[in-house]
Structure 1
Amino acid sequence: MPGNNTFIYICIIVGLILQIIPMPPQIDIYRPDWLLMILCYWSMALPNRVSVGVAAICGLTLDILYGTALGVHCFALTIPIFIVSANYQRLRNQSMLQQAFTIMVLSLLYHLIVYWLQYWLINTEFRWRFFWPTAVTIVLWPWLFWLLRKFRRKFRVS
């Protein structure tokens, strides 16, 4: 059903917009990983439709939108999504608290990969504020999961 794919793509585009929307610098350091959370949800819910390839395209799009070296966000997004895709059955059966902890670890991995690649490419220095988005992501995950599941069932995306 073509409408099903359309809803998934709309969610991903909204995630990209939320990821890059301008915010004041004082608030921007707390920006959650919207795109990562949305990709993790769809990779858990429908691993045959959203997997590593979609994450790679989204990562390249983020690289272009952020103006970073091509491949930084692509590589950093594909690793967590590969882990989710490989373990989607286990993740589905976890409690919401366990899922939030898993998403936190994946978000930490994402930020560490981005930092590591930027360190080797442009010699950026380490700051602990790189990990603030992880704390916000773990708090927002249950709400985003509930919202996306509600819309997935409402629009019968399968």
Structure 2
Amino acid sequence: MIDFQSGYILRPVNPFFIYFSLLCALLLNLLPIGNYSWVPDWLIICIVFWNIHQHRYVGVITAFILGLLMDVHHSDLLGLHAFSYTLVAYLAISWHRRIVALTAPTQALHVLPMFLLVSLCPVLAHWILSGEIYWWALTGTVQAVIEALLWPLATRVLLSPQRRPIDVDHNRPL
């Protein structure tokens, strides 16, 4: 795989690192910080990133299982996060060729609708099921914007193990 921003050929990804980063993102989501709109959903950032860059290792089924875990954690309708995570994973896989060739800030603009979909899907589901709309829950758009702003940092951090050279030779320019 080529990093189109720097032209650097990336090393193969270690599947252990992928699942370790997903576990770390899940643990960050499980922290008792509170349900504030400024707290990003770390897991969806990681799921979207790995679905764009390595969709053979992390797919829709992984997103569904992690979504079920988040439903149990939030004590919400079972399948609500699972559905939104699965839908976003599908969109990320289908848009991965388009997004990978862009720079990180432009990628953030392309993944912003995905993050908006994840934050507004529970609001729409509650509205459809109960007939009432929780206007305070629309602050999830702030969360989606924060996640999109964190996208370049996530790209830098999650691609860093692949950018390491196998053997450092100071006489070789590449």
TM-score normalised to structure 2 length: 0.79
- The CA RMSD measured in Å over matched residues stands at 2.1
CA–CA distance in 1 between the matches of 2:110 and 2:96?
A: 12
Q: What residue in structure 2 maps to residue 126 of structure 1?
A: 135
CA–CA distance in 1 between the matches of 2:72 and 2:49?
A: 24
> Deviating runs (4+, > 6 A) in structure 1?
none
Question: How many residue pairs were aligned?
Answer: 152
* Contact 2:51–2:92, Cα closer than 8 Å, also in 1: yes
CA deviations on 1:85-124 (whole Å, 9 max, x unpaired) are: 0121111001222210122111101112121112234545
1:142 Cα deviation (Å)? 0.3
Q: Which runs of 5+ in 2 are unaligned?
A: 1-12, 167-174
CA deviations on 1:18-68 (whole Å, 9 max, x unpaired) are: 12311256xx32011211110111111111111111110110110111111
Percent identity for Structure 1 against Structure 2: 24
* Contact 2:116–2:140, Cα closer than 8 Å, also in 1: no
**Which segment drifts farther, 125-134 or 114-123?**
114-123
2:49 aligned counterpart, secondary structure: helix
Q: What residue in structure 2 maps to residue 36 of structure 1?
A: 44
CA–CA distance in 1 between the matches of 2:15 and 2:43?
A: 17
* Contact 1:4–1:155, Cα closer than 8 Å, also in 2: no
In structure 1, which of residues 67, 75, 80 is the aligned counterpart of residue 88 of structure 2? 80
Q: Which structure 2 residues correspond to residues 16-55 of structure 1 after superposition, within 5 A?
A: 16-23=26-33, 28-55=36-63
Asked whether 1:107 is paired with 2:115, we answer yes
Q: Which runs of 5+ in 1 are unaligned?
A: none
